[in-house]
C-alpha cells in the first residue's frame, strides 16, 4: 500500500507559478523505485495525463500542452514528487492528482489505468 498526499494548489492569476508536491508513504520495503505521474481533471472532463517521471528521475514525460511550462521532479530521499508549473493559463484549471505506478510494466505513462495508487487531489485555479 502506498499513501499519496498532494499539496500546493491554490488560486492564481494567469502567468503566475505554482509548485505542487506529492509525498508518498508506506510500502517502504520497495523504497522509492517506482515511476510516478501527475494527472488533472477539469469539471466535466476526463482525467488527463500531465507528466510522469521514472524512479531515477532520468526520464520525464509531458503532455504537449504543458511542455516548456511544467517541470516534474522527485526527491527520493524525501519520498516526494514535485510539479513546477510556470506561465499558468486558465485552461490549466483542474484538480491535480499524483499517482504511483508499481505493478505494471515500464512505459505507457500517459494512461491512468497503469497507475496503482492515487492521491486525493489538490485544486489549481487560474483566473484570467
User: How confident is the model at residue 29, as a pLDDT?
Assistant: 44
Nearest to 72 by CA among 46, 107, 47, 35: 35
Helices (runs of H) and strands (runs of E) counted in the chain: 0, 11
Does the pLDDT of residue 84 top 60, yes or no?
Answer: yes
- What distances in angstroms separate CA 83 from CA 1, 21, 29, 44, one per listed residue? 23, 7, 25, 23
Of all residues in the chain, the percent with pLDDT exceeding 70 is 95
pLDDT band at 106 (very low <50, low <70, confident <90, very high): confident
Report d(CA 127, CA 110) in Å as an integer.
Answer: 27
User: How confident is the model at residue 104, as a pLDDT?
Assistant: 86
State mean pLDDT over 31-44.
88
Cell of 63: 503532455
- What distances in angstroms separate CA 9 from CA 44, 91, 94, 97, 127, one per listed residue? 20, 15, 10, 11, 13
User: How confident is the model at residue 38, as a pLDDT?
Assistant: 98
Cell of 65: 500542452
Amino acid at each position: 500500500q502506498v499513501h499519496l498526499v498532494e499539496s500546493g494548489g491554490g488560486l492564481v492569476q494567469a502567468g503566475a507559478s505554482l509548485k505542487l508536491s506529492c509525498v508518498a508513504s508506506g510500502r517502504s520495503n520497495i523504497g522509492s523505485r517506482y515511476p510516478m505521474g501527475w494527472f488533472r481533471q477539469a469539471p466535466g472532463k476526463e482525467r488527463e495525463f500531465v507528466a510522469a517521471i521514472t524512479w531515477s528521475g532520468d526520464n520525464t514525460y509531458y503532455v504537449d500542452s504543458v511542455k516548456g511550462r511544467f517541470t516534474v521532479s522527485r526527491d527520493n530521499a524525501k519520498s516526494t514528487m514535485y510539479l513546477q508549473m510556470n506561465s499558468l493559463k486558465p485552461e490549466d484549471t483542474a484538480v491535480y492528482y499524483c499517482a504511483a505506478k508499481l505493478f505494471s510494466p515500464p512505459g505507457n505513462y500517459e494512461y491512468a489505468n497503469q497507475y496503482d495508487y492515487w492521491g486525493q487531489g489538490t485544486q489549481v485555479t487560474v483566473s484570467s
